[in-house]
Amino acid sequence: MDHRIGAKDRTAFIRANTRLMDVPHAPEIRLHLADEAFSLWHRTEEELEALGLPAPFWAFAWAGGQALARYVLDNKALAAGRRVVDVGSGSGLVAIAAARAGAAHVLAADPDPFTPAAIALNAAANGVQVETTTEDLLDDAPPPCDLLLIGDMFFDREIAPRMERFARRALAAGADVLIGDPGRAYLPRERLEQLALYEVPVSRALEDNDVKRTRVWRVKA
């Protein structure tokens, strides 16, 4: 992956292509999000393709992340005083919800090199601190944590089994593991316990509807 776009340029790009707005299902949180989702998605792909940079998942509040953020905000004891890891963080929505809920430390992990800039902007907009990493953690031992949060990460055939194994390792190490998911194809439902069901507003440019029925799950031992 080419990293020629520097951190300041990434921040400028994010500011130029998003606006600060309330998250539909968690309006306590404001994020720099794409105003015209479909056009930004394609414009970003065109502009960054030459540099080998990925599509801008950080620019959207995905349904699974919105549901998981809502659940954490409504159940603050899950995160309060605890070490939290948000894997596949994107915009940082779920990580910010954990910080708002009083987590002692929050690590947001995402291999996209744009995410540290996006999460820094979004954390600052919400008055919280979130540590970031672009390391791909999925094949290693999870960082020390009490709560692992996974928002909308079971959409890909290759990523899903790696994510499940990572979640199992975190569970074995003593962490609680929660997943937000709007019915993605590769979610291992038979090993999960449903905690909540939400009707989450989403962009029709990215999804097949204006609202996604989205569940929050706990990974069972």
Q: Following CA atoms 179, 181, 187, 189 in sequence, which dihedral angle do they give, to the nearest 10 degrees?
A: 70
Is the backbone of residue 100 left (phi > 0), alpha (psi -120 to 50) or beta? Answer: alpha
One-letter amino acid of 7: A
Which pLDDT score is estimated for 206?
77
Q: What is the DSSP letter of 207?
A: S
Q: Is 6 buried (19+), middle (13-18) or exposed (0-12) by CB count in 10 A?
A: exposed
- pTM metric for this prediction: 0.93
Q: Which pLDDT tens digits describe the chain residue by residue (221 residues)?
A: 344 566 668 899 899 889 999 999 999 999 999 987 667 777 767 777 776 667 889 999 999 999 999 999 999 999 999 999 999 999 999 999 999 999 999 999 999 999 999 999 999 999 999 999 999 999 999 999 999 999 999 999 999 999 999 999 999 999 999 999 999 999 999 889 999 999 999 887 777 788 999 999 999 98
**Which residues, 6 or more positions from 180, have their beta carbon under 8 angstroms from its beta carbon?**
63, 64, 65, 66, 67, 68, 69, 71, 94, 149, 150, 151, 152, 214, 215, 216, 217
Q: Rounded CA gap, 160 and 46, in Å?
A: 27
Q: β-pairing, 147-151 with 83-87?
A: parallel
d(CA 147, CA 84): 5
85 φ, ψ to 5°? -120, 130
Q: What CATH number should be reported for the domain whose range is 7-219?
A: 3.40.50.150
- Amino acid 3: pLDDT: 47
The pLDDT value given to residue 102:
98
